[in-house]
Amino acid sequence: MECSGDGIRKIQQKVQGAGLPPVQFDYNGTFTVHMHLPVQKKARPKTAPAKKVVQKPAREKTAPEGKLSVSKLKTKQFKEQFGEKFGYTGEPLDRKIAILEQIIREDPIDYDALQESFDVSKKTVKRDLKSLKEDNLIIFEGSPKTGKYILTTSGRQVMEKL
């Protein structure tokens, strides 16, 4: 017969046996389990390239220091390289870049505005988000009600290189 807490121990043993990061349990009025997937790190070059100093335009809304600028996504060169790298073309490419712009500005994804501006269904916008997640460019962080999409570390690196 199992005792109270046996399930927690089983979860911890299974996670540890799989070589995953430890599970976190919160007991603040409700029972919450936090599981994290391992992050694959790429080898860094031994010498870091010199950082470029870029002046930010006064009126442009940019993400905090170290983050991408929305104006970069609006360039023709970025659009061509991004589309070529991930196999996007035409309107799907434009929609995905519009979604990335909202994420970089740290705005919540406005499904209605995207639907209206591109004349597509909500399902199409969700498929675009799914595609960006599958390409490891974005991830949803937080609870379904209050969370938001953010760029992944690899997504940020890819976009900075383009």
Closest Cα to residue 101, out of 161, 147, 61, 66?
61
- Options 1.20.1260.10, 1.10.540.10, 1.10.10.10, 1.10.580.10; CATH for 70-161 is 1.10.10.10
Q: Specify the DSSP element, H or E, that contains 151.
A: strand 148-151
Give tens-digit pLDDT for 89-143.
888 888 888 888 888 888 778 778 888 888 889 899 899 999 999 999 999 888 8
For the chain, what are the domain ranges?
Answer: 1-36, 70-161
Quick one: the chain helix, strand, coil %, rounded to 5? Answer: 45, 10, 45
pLDDT for res 15: 76
Extract the tokens encoding 13: 């043993």
Give tens-digit pLDDT for 2-29.
676 677 788 888 878 877 788 777 777 7
pTM beyond 0.75: the answer is no
